[in-house]
Homo-oligomer: A and B are copies of this chain.
Amino acid sequence: MSSSRGGALRQAAPLFAALGDTTRLSLVRRLSTEGPLPITRLTDGSGMTRQAVTRHLHALGKVGLVRNAKEGRERVFSLDLKRLEIAQQYLDNVSAQWDAAAARLKAFVEDNRS
- Could you list which residues of chain A lie within 8 angstroms of chain B, going by C-beta atoms? 9-10, 12-22, 25-26, 28-29, 31-36, 79, 81, 84-85, 87-88, 91-92, 94-95, 97-98, 101-102, 104-105
Contacts and interface: CB of A to CB of B under 8 A. Distances in A.
A30 B82 CA distance: 25
B35 A22 contact: no
Q: How many copies of this chain does the complex contain?
A: 2
Contacts of A33: 97, 101
A13 B9 contact: no
Contacts of A28: 94
Contacts of A26: 9
A31 B104 CA distance: 13
A26 B12 CA distance: 11
A96 B66 CA distance: 16
Which 7 residue pairs across A and B have the least CB separation, nearest first? A17-B20, A16-B20, A16-B19, A32-B97, A35-B101, A20-B20, A32-B98
